[in-house]
Structure 1
Amino acid sequence: MAQTKPIVRKAVTAAKGGTKYDLEDKNDSAHVYFMKGWDAYKANDINAARFYWERGANCTSDIPSKFSSAFRYGLMLQNGEGIVADQDAAFYYYTKGSANGKPVGDVDATKNVAAYYENGMSVKQDFKKALEWYLKAKAQGNKYCDADIARVKQKIAQGL
């Protein structure tokens, strides 16, 4: 019988303070890179954090840490934190981190994709696509999209 990697599976509810990371394989490279990135970031080692999050974002697995690594690396690219600012590359990593709105994706990455469409950053301004992405972020559990959704709906209603 083939031996498989252990997967940590705890029943977690938001009321108990659990996170999506409680349900993933703790030995997966994406998770390891994500956590090493956080450790480096907290230690103010920006270059190491960037290194680890870029590696985590490009892992082949499809666990939440991969998508969160993509978000964190995208944020560094957007802000020029430890790397030359590159809005196009940031948009690429936000899109990657969003997992196209699937539950496993990073809700902040998904919201940032929406903001890029709303503001015409690295892509043509498109309020319908922005709305689509804000709705995906809300469906993923982002609690801060209601005002964005209302604002974009108003712009669409105004024919903008």
Structure 2
Amino acid sequence: MSTVTLAINNTPQTREIEDRTLLVHFLRDHLGLTGTHVGCDTTQCGACTVILDGRAVKSCTILAVAADGSSVTTIEGLATGDRLHDVQTAFHECHGLQCGFCTPGMIMASVDMIRRHDGVLDEQTIRHELEGNLCRCTGYHNIVEAVLMAAEKYRGEHHVAAE
């Protein structure tokens, strides 16, 4: 058993857990944050994607004890009060979801992608970057449209010139 402390969605959380507890299970089972989904447990599907210390990671293969002292943002931490994050809004407006199982991981990966590329994205880059996040319903077209919409808003807010 180990004691871990993480800043989850800007709130410190300390729990005693088994050393083998994966970050995804820490979030879901110990904190009740079930927006982070368990799909494959092998980093193949991306349903468990969260932001760990500013980077999108698949939480199904990271031990919670290895993340001790880190900051984690989950899908539950993106909205500000009743105001959805711009990527969440874009997914809603572009109908970038169907069953919704992959949506939290897609959104978290997209938030990180937009930040890393300063909002300057094209369809090919988005499709390449989302290869590690699987969706069995949508065919990705509306997901790509949602990311493009959110990236455009990001550029506008951050005054980044498109290439």
| Fold shared per TM-score above 0.5 | no
Higher strand share: 2
Q: Whose relative contact order is higher, 1 or 2, with alpha carbons under 8 Å and at least 6 apart?
A: 2
**Structure label with greater radius of gyration:** 1
